[in-house]
Amino acid sequence: MAMGSKYGAHRVLEPKGLLPQAAQRIDNRMELYDNEILIDVSALNIDAASFRQLWEAAEGDEGRLKEQILAIVNERGKMQNPVTGSGGMLMGSVARVGEALQDRDLHAGDRIATLVSLSLTPLHIDEITAVHPAIERVEIKGQAILFESGIYAKLPDDMSENLALAVLDVAGAPAQTARIVQPGDSVLILGAGGKSGMLCAYEAMKRVGPCGNVVGMSRNDRPEATLLDNGLVHSFFVANAQNPVEVLDKALALNNGREYDVVINVVNIDGTEMSSILPAREGGMVYFFSMATSFTRAALGAEGVGKDVTMIVGNGYTRNHAEFSLQVIRESPALRRIFETLYV
């Protein structure tokens, strides 16, 4: 077979000239180019914002959810929610490695998780065999293509595959948190009760040290005891992340009336940009990991309230983020226990 573009541009059907993520339709025939990897897929972890939208559109009916996913993949050649624009990631076994990639330490049968979005991954689904709404996962029989530039992680031997997948699904968030949080910082985490929220909270607590303050927020009180009892935050409050005035008032009350050095947004609903920007101090940092974020609303909103803050796009990739995040689970028995209870 011929060589393709390392970034997958050869798979774009419409519109031509774009890369696969931005394209409306890509070629999902499982005929392998020499610089591609063919994967037998066992599970898809759908992006949280995407799954929420699809689940609500299906009115909680698993059959209708399956129909929506199959329709998207059949139309686009990839799993990219047309409403949210986001995808997710997959787990599977290497079926074949292209001739040009034989120098990689990757062989047929290796179990891997891809660390690139399903919104750019050629995917063919034969059957959706199970749906797990609580963890935004679907089990499938199908195949996918990983491009030469695509990153992946071999699934580790010291934890279950489902646990590893739950962590790798949001691996960029705790790795980026470790980079931006400094000793003595005050940190506010919107959506602290979810996978990415708890990993970020753990890393923030480790980084701020004895003089810092980490505050978690969620839309209900379900994660409160888990977060506080396991030392993942210093304090916690319940608020509607789409109500910036409520979030601001409650957040400041738990930080001695002061604005925060770092605000991390990992919620899975839209319209939460100003709830992240308002509590941040002048010159502070806002990290939008949520794929439900509108960066137009964020930019114009910050301008509208006169906030000079640094805003970071939630890049799902940070150097060595996969091993970093797996190591977080290894070093924290509490987090591992929580993840095994909730997400496996």
Verify that 181 and 115 share a domain, yes or no: no
Distances (CA, A) of 200 to 100, 227, 266: 38, 12, 9
- Give the mean model confidence (pLDDT) for residues 29-53: 95
pLDDT surpasses 80 at 311: yes
Verify that 280 and 231 share a domain, yes or no: yes
Query: What is the 3-class SS of the chain, one letter each residue?
Result: CCCCCCCCHHHEEECCCCCCCCCCEECCCCCCCCCEEEEEEEEEEECHHHHHHHHHHCCCCHHHHHHHHHHHHHHHCCCCCCCCCCCEEEEEEEEEECHHHCCCCCCCCCEEEECCCHHHCCEEEEEEEEEEHHHCEEEEEEEEEEECCCCEEECCCCCCHHHHHHHHCCCHHHHHHHHHCCCCCEEEEECCCCHHHHHHHHHHHHHHHHHCEEEEEECCCCCHHHHHHCCCCCEEEECCCCCHHHHHHHHHHCCCCCCEEEEEECCCCCCCHHHHHCCEEEEEEEEECCCCCCHHHHHHHHHHCCCCCEEEECCCCCCCHHHHHHHHHHHCHHHHHHHHHHCC
For the domain that residue 335 is a member of, what is the CATH number? 3.40.50.720
Verify that 52 and 190 share a domain, yes or no: no
In a domain, 162, yes or no: no
Last residue of a domain, one of 92, 120, 155: 155
Verify that 198 and 53 share a domain, yes or no: no
Q: According to the model, what pLDDT value does residue 48 have? A: 85
Contact 63, 176 (CB under 8 A): no
In a domain, 332, yes or no: yes
Q: Is the dihedral of CA 136, 56, 174, 118 positive or negative?
A: positive
pLDDT digits (tens, 9 = 90+) for 313-337: 876 777 788 899 999 999 999 999 9
Last residue of a domain, one of 155, 188, 217: 155
Verify that 182 and 36 share a domain, yes or no: no
pLDDT digits (tens, 9 = 90+) for 189-200: 999 999 999 999
pLDDT surpasses 80 at 294: yes
In a domain, 112, yes or no: yes
In a domain, 164, yes or no: no
Q: According to the model, what pLDDT value does residue 45 have? A: 93
Verify that 179 and 270 share a domain, yes or no: yes
Integer Cα distance of 89 and 45 in angstroms = 5
Sorting pLDDT into bands at 50, 70 and 90, what band is 293?
A: confident
Q: According to the model, what pLDDT value does residue 320 have? A: 84
Count of domains observed in the chain:
2
- Give the mean model confidence (pLDDT) for residues 33-61: 95
Verify that 65 and 200 share a domain, yes or no: no
Verify that 329 and 255 share a domain, yes or no: yes
Verify that 126 and 35 share a domain, yes or no: yes
In a domain, 83, yes or no: yes
pLDDT digits (tens, 9 = 90+) for 162-202: 999 889 988 889 999 999 999 999 999 999 999 999 999 99
In a domain, 337, yes or no: yes
pLDDT surpasses 80 at 129: yes
pLDDT digits (tens, 9 = 90+) for 240-249: 999 999 999 9
Q: Domain limits at 149?
A: 9-155
- Give the mean model confidence (pLDDT) for residues 266-288: 94
Verify that 79 and 140 share a domain, yes or no: yes
pLDDT digits (tens, 9 = 90+) for 81-96: 999 998 999 999 999 9
Verify that 34 and 93 share a domain, yes or no: yes
Strand-pair category, 137-147 with 123-132: antiparallel
Verify that 58 and 86 share a domain, yes or no: yes
Last residue of a domain, one of 98, 120, 155: 155
Q: What is the pTM of this model?
A: 0.86
pLDDT surpasses 80 at 276: yes
In a domain, 319, yes or no: yes
